[in-house]
Homo-oligomer: A and B are copies of this chain.
Amino acid sequence: MRSYYKTNEWSVIEEGFEPQKHEASESIFSLGNGHMGLRANFEEKYTGETLQGTYIAGIYYPDKTRVGWWKNGYPEYFAKVPNAPNWIGIHVLVEGEDLDLHTCKVSDFTRELNMKHGYLERSFTAELKSGKKLRVNARRFVSMVDDEIGAIRYTVKPLNFSGEIEFISFIEGSVVNRDSNYDEKFWEVLNTGAEADLAFLHARTRKSGFEACFSMMVEVSLNGKIIPATSQSLLSESYAGKSTLVSVSSGEEIILWKYAAVLDSLNYTHHQIVEKCKQSVRRAFEKKFDRLFDEHSAKWAVNWTNSDIIIEGDPLAQQGIRFNIFQLNQTYTGRDERLNIGPKGFTGEKYGGSTYWDTEAFLFQFYLSTESDHVARNLLIYRYKHLDKAIENARKLGYHSGAALYPMVTMNGEECHNEWEITFEEIHRNGAIAYAIYNYIRYTGDKKYLAEYGLEVLIAISRFWKQRVNWSERKGLYVMLGVTGPNEYENNVNNNWYTNKMACWTLSYTLEAINFVKKSDPDQYHRIVQKTAFGFEPESQAWQHILDHMFFPELNEEGIFLQQEGFMDKEQRMATDLDPSERPINQHWSWDRILRSVFIKQADVLQGIFCFEDEFSTDTIRRNYEFYEPRTVHESSLSPCIHSILANRIGKFEDAYDLYLRTSRLDLDDYNREVDEGLHITSMGGTWMSVVLGFGGMRIREGMISFNPHLPKKWKSLSFHINYRGRKLNVNISEKKVHVSLIGGEPLQVEINGNRVQCVQDT
């Protein structure tokens, strides 16, 4: 597959304007800074197909859930991420004629996402219907330093005419979501206003009552000389803007700088938000574009020092991994423990911007390994703070005694997804949340976390598993009926191997954690026993009994862990048997057909093997991989990364590389033909794992970090940075050697291909 975008190790570049690719490019070229983000919509008017998208972290709209088939236990709402008022707009009127790339002739169009410095830049020549030609360049960024600020530099040069150009810079509050069911608006504008040099718009989300204020200021220069402010205010109930008229001659250059501030009610009260927003934009205006940009770019340099991966010899892979790391850093910064990571980040509406198990299962490792520990810890505390709501959620479903079921999808701890087969049955998420605690402690060594927060969560989740299984008289074992595993192309199956495995592991780890806290911190143990009303022996014995008597479906002679009971009754077809025109099957087959087919959406048994790799021999891993990989269609973005890591583990290096490219360039090459809807942000953590855990072969076992790398043929070298227990390590792998250097922190023993070496800092 030839990439539509130019391959460049630090940039994604589009050359030439193809309107039918525009919505896809709007996703690809998205910008964000953890607090807000936006798709690569054009500043100027565009009457072609476009998915307008401006998003603010933590703000959601509770869409109605109660429908005809509503059943007890269904959540009250489905959270959607509301497309926020658009603050980038700069309409350009050339002697009264609209600049609109849909209606004029466009040439020399380029669009660049510069990942090194974190900006979007676009240049083009437009020939209007009147024959007037102009050259435009627009650069913008949302600041990584002051995450409430965005800035645009918009340059226009008339090529064959002289005359007046009007720039209408505005904030548009009359915005809709594409996923609104009844075209209802999610925002209402409370107020708009303008002062001599500034305009603002204050809006509130319907139902959920979040507020946001948007302010803007503009400055214009002609041939490098600032033009004194002569803007006129344009105001309506849902619109605030400034019009600036500039007389210009052919060949002259106008630059318009637009500064914007976006503040919201997560951080400001109703009464202060407008004033604070005006102050913020004034501060930005005073700093000017270049200084704001330099600060921003310097922060990106730090990000890259922490998390860059360098792949020599494979520009496609290099661009792919950088694109993923760039997006991960844009989406979540770990500054605010109330926030989390939506499947599409700030790049689209789909999946409602809410938190899924993706965070713990696919993203956690990236932040754990590239940021200081508090970032990963914030992700754990996010769930700790939702524990009461998870207990309440379980209670609504009929569980009791402090059992917790974390929501499948959430904005604030409440369940907000409404398919029973997901909400009620995809309970393995509870296991992922427990596993992240284990993973955090394994990586950081911070065992105190158990006493402080972790154990309470583990006990509540173990109680859930205890109540969720039932004893089968027929089998003389515990069974877990009616679940949906990670492979969502199956629903309501019995004894999903992965879920049963996760449940047992949680019970076992909780027992271990209880003993640890009891011994190491009796005061905290006492506090937790009180708080959770822990039932001592009887409760832990019941867990142990389940552990010792859980049913796991297996193909006995062949040593295959069966995805679920009855799996072998399906018609056993291979993904390669599928006609390419039928793929992805989720776009070509009815749901009915998908459910009955053998085809697997994403790693399920293999996800479990990935989590508990050390329990299985290489042979067992290979047998299961060879059974499941041919049946897997990888129609979840979360799938190829796990397969790639396991392929490396068992020495199927070509598979590993093919699967890696698929995850790494999923969005850039639009494998699943849906990138127009937004990027697969949460899978990007999986991509990172497939490099560092897969090709880098990084593992942590009993406090020892080790590397068993294997480079794909094409790669000359691979190097990456790791934050590990207060050290900064650089791992450099080439065909001939593996070098781990200590860049910061105390000396450390590491294991490379089975040999222990001492790393000390170069002096």
Name A's B-contacting residues (CB within 8 A).
Answer: 64, 66-69, 71-74, 78, 80, 179, 181-182, 184, 352, 396-398, 418-421, 424-425, 470-475, 479, 481-482, 491-494, 565-566, 568-572, 586-593, 595-596
A336 to B472 Cα, complex, angstroms: 53
Q: How far is the CB of A467 from chain B (nearest CB, A)?
A: 10
Checking B68, B73, B481, B491 against A590 with a beta-carbon cut-off of 8 angstroms, the contacting residue is: B73
A72–B590 CB distance below 8 A:
yes
B182–A64 CB distance below 8 A:
yes
Checking B80, B494, B588 against A566 with a beta-carbon cut-off of 8 angstroms, the contacting residue is: B494
A470–B571 CB distance below 8 A:
yes
Residue of B at shortest CB range from A585?
B72
A482–B182 CB distance below 8 A:
no
A473–B566 CB distance below 8 A:
no
Residue of B at shortest CB range from A566?
B494
Q: How far is the CB of A663 from chain B (nearest CB, A)?
A: 24
Q: How far is the CB of A478 from chain B (nearest CB, A)?
A: 10
Q: How far is the CB of A424 from chain B (nearest CB, A)?
A: 4
* Contact partners of A587 in chain B: CB under 8 A: 72
Q: A565-B566, A566-B481 are in contact. Are A473 and B572 (CB under 8 A)?
A: yes
Closest 8 CB pairs of A and B: A73-B590, A424-B592, A71-B591, A397-B590, A472-B569, A492-B492, A398-B593, A474-B568
* Contact partners of A352 in chain B: CB under 8 A: 68
B73–A592 CB distance below 8 A:
yes
Checking B69, B72, B421, B470 against A596 with a beta-carbon cut-off of 8 angstroms, the contacting residue is: B470
Q: How far is the CB of A413 from chain B (nearest CB, A)?
A: 18
Residue of B at shortest CB range from A592?
B424
* Contact partners of A565 in chain B: CB under 8 A: 566
Residue of B at shortest CB range from A395?
B590
Q: A64-B182, A398-B590, A492-B493 are in contact. List 17 more A-B contacts (CB 8 A).
A: A68-B352, A71-B586, A71-B590, A72-B587, A181-B181, A397-B590, A397-B592, A398-B593, A420-B595, A424-B592, A425-B592, A470-B571, A473-B572, A475-B569, A492-B492, A492-B595, A494-B566
Q: How far is the CB of A340 from chain B (nearest CB, A)?
A: 19
Checking B67, B421, B482, B569 against A481 with a beta-carbon cut-off of 8 angstroms, the contacting residue is: B569
Q: A471-B571, A569-B472, A596-B481 are in contact. Are A591 and B419 (CB under 8 A)?
A: no
A569–B474 CB distance below 8 A:
yes
A570 to B469 Cα, complex, angstroms: 10
Checking B72, B80, B474, B571 against A586 with a beta-carbon cut-off of 8 angstroms, the contacting residue is: B72
A569 to B71 Cα, complex, angstroms: 25
B479–A569 CB distance below 8 A:
yes
* Contact partners of A475 in chain B: CB under 8 A: 569
* Contact partners of A67 in chain B: CB under 8 A: 181
A398–B68 CB distance below 8 A:
no
B571–A424 CB distance below 8 A:
no
Q: How far is the CB of A344 from chain B (nearest CB, A)?
A: 13
B181–A64 CB distance below 8 A:
yes
* Contact partners of A74 in chain B: CB under 8 A: 591
* Contact partners of A470 in chain B: CB under 8 A: 569-571, 596
* Contact partners of A588 in chain B: CB under 8 A: 72
Checking B64, B73, B471, B591 against A420 with a beta-carbon cut-off of 8 angstroms, the contacting residue is: B591
Q: A565-B566, A569-B479 are in contact. Are A424 and B590 (CB under 8 A)?
A: yes
* Contact partners of A590 in chain B: CB under 8 A: 71-73, 396-398, 424
* Contact partners of A397 in chain B: CB under 8 A: 590, 592-593
* Contact partners of A179 in chain B: CB under 8 A: 68
* Contact partners of A472 in chain B: CB under 8 A: 568-570
Residue of B at shortest CB range from A64?
B181
A352 to B67 Cα, complex, angstroms: 12
* Contact partners of A479 in chain B: CB under 8 A: 569
B473–A591 CB distance below 8 A:
no
B481–A424 CB distance below 8 A:
no
A64 to B182 Cα, complex, angstroms: 9
Q: How far is the CB of A63 from chain B (nearest CB, A)?
A: 8
* Contact partners of A471 in chain B: CB under 8 A: 571
* Contact partners of A72 in chain B: CB under 8 A: 586-591
Q: How far is the CB of A589 from chain B (nearest CB, A)?
A: 6
A-B contact pairs, 20 of them (CB 8 A): A64-B181, A66-B181, A67-B181, A69-B418, A69-B419, A73-B591, A73-B592, A73-B593, A181-B181, A181-B182, A397-B592, A420-B595, A470-B570, A471-B571, A473-B572, A481-B569, A481-B596, A492-B492, A494-B569, A566-B566
Residue of B at shortest CB range from A565?
B566
Q: A179-B68, A475-B569, A571-B470 are in contact. Are A482 and B184 (CB under 8 A)?
A: no
A565 to B474 Cα, complex, angstroms: 12
Residue of B at shortest CB range from A492?
B492
Q: How far is the CB of A73 from chain B (nearest CB, A)?
A: 3
* Contact partners of A570 in chain B: CB under 8 A: 470, 472, 481
Q: How far is the CB of A99 from chain B (nearest CB, A)?
A: 35
Q: A397-B590, A398-B590, A569-B475 are in contact. Are A68 and B73 (CB under 8 A)?
A: no
Checking B68, B418, B566, B568 against A78 with a beta-carbon cut-off of 8 angstroms, the contacting residue is: B68
- Of the candidates A397, A571, A586, A591, the one having the most CB atoms from chain B within 10 angstroms of its own CB is A591
Residue of B at shortest CB range from A484?
B492
A569 to B479 Cα, complex, angstroms: 7
B491–A492 CB distance below 8 A:
yes
Residue of B at shortest CB range from A397?
B590
A595 to B179 Cα, complex, angstroms: 30
Q: How far is the CB of A31 from chain B (nearest CB, A)?
A: 25
A8 to B596 Cα, complex, angstroms: 53
* Contact partners of A398 in chain B: CB under 8 A: 589-590, 592-593
B595–A482 CB distance below 8 A:
yes
Residue of B at shortest CB range from A420?
B591
A182 to B180 Cα, complex, angstroms: 12
A72 to B586 Cα, complex, angstroms: 7
